[in-house]
Amino acid sequence: MRIAVAGGTGQVGRHVVDTARRNGHDVVVLARSTGVDLVTGVGAADALHEVDAVIDVTSVTTLDAAESTAFFEATTRTLLDAEAVAGVGHHIALSIVGIDSSPEGYYAGKLAQESLVEAGTVPWTILRATQFHEFADQVYARAKVGPFHVAPKMRTQPIAAQEVAAQLVALAEAGPSRRAPDLAGPREESLVEMVRGVARARGSRSWIPAVPLPGPSGRAQRDGSLLPGPDARLGTQTYAEWLTAFSSSAPARD
Ligand SMILES: NC(=O)c1ccc[n+]([C@@H]2O[C@H](COP(=O)([O-])OP(=O)(O)OC[C@H]3O[C@@H](n4cnc5c(N)ncnc54)[C@H](OP(=O)(O)O)[C@@H]3O)[C@@H](O)[C@H]2O)c1
């Protein structure tokens, strides 16, 4: 198959590209760094020539609902419009487990994305996954008060981005299936301890305080609303196993 990976340079996107190539597919990467801007639409139509399936793993770094919604609506509309013109037969979007429980902040954009995909004319699959193991490192890099790192209090059942990527490629190979079963990691973790773990792996000895995020989405993070239900499929690599591998390769960073 010819598979386009929107966001194919990102945290999970890199693994989607590698997995699809390993499985023998022809892969096109859509990202601003490859000349395709899915917010403005520049380059999108040409990139989808003879593509069979699009896997959308783009993202924006924001906690603001308006910004998140503007991004996911623009990128999804660009993709769906270009797919319809190019005759792409399958749109696959990656979303997040439990977001209905707090439809605000970043999650507002993810729900808007899901609605557009479900209402669109291109046959679709939506996979909701929990936070990636790699999310701990994203939080370590981004959650700062001045020069100090902080860790949001959150109950999560994280999964390796590599396992999410493998499932996305399997879904592309299987054809449109609408809402796929949710995907989560093997066990519940504390995001605070995960962030402290990557900090130590990166050579930091600073104390990282646990902070409760404000508002309904902060509450949803703490009260378990973002944990998977009993029907979720579970991956196999634990956070501890991932961290051991990460620790042997992560460059030091403050
Ligand atoms: N992180 C998690 O724990 C997690 C958990 C569950 C689901 N998800 C979902 O998984 C998806 C990917 O998340 P991630 O953490 O892997 O993202 P990420 O590492 O932040 O990567 C984002 C990707 O989007 C691309 N991108 C951003 N703006 C773009 C634009 N205007 N046009 C084209 N490409 C653009 C980036 O490439 P350029 O910068 O080169 O444009 C990059 O490849 C998101 O939809 C997220 O909601 C994430």
Please give the distance, rounded to the nearest whole angstrom, from the Cα atom of residue 228 to the centre of ligand 1.
22
Q: What is the pLDDT of residue 10?
A: 97
pLDDT by 10s per residue, the chain, length 254: 999 999 999 999 999 999 999 999 999 999 999 999 999 999 999 999 999 999 999 999 998 999 999 999 999 999 999 999 999 999 999 999 999 998 999 999 999 999 999 999 999 999 999 999 999 999 999 999 998 999 999 999 999 999 999 999 999 999 999 999 999 999 999 999 999 999 999 999 899 999 999 888 899 999 999 999 999 999 999 999 999 999 998 777 77
What's the pTM? 0.97
How distant, in Å, are the alpha carbons of 37, 64, 69, 94, 247 from that of 74?
Answer: 10, 15, 8, 16, 37
CATH architecture of 2-247: 3-Layer(aba) Sandwich (3.40)
Report the residue among 54, 57, 116 best suited for mutation to probe ligand 1: largest number of ligand atoms under 8 A from its CB: 57
- Show the ligand 1 pocket: residues with CB < 6 angstroms: 7, 9-13, 30-33, 36-39, 57-59, 94, 96, 110, 129, 131-132, 135, 138
Q: What is the pLDDT of residue 250?
A: 79
Q: What is the pLDDT of residue 142?
A: 93
Query: Could you state, in order of their start, the residue ranges of all structural domains in the chain?
Result: 2-247
How distant, in Å, are the alpha carbons of 55, 101, 122, 161, 204 from that of 52?
Answer: 10, 34, 11, 23, 45
- Give the span between the Cα atoms of 23 and 44, in whole angstroms: 24
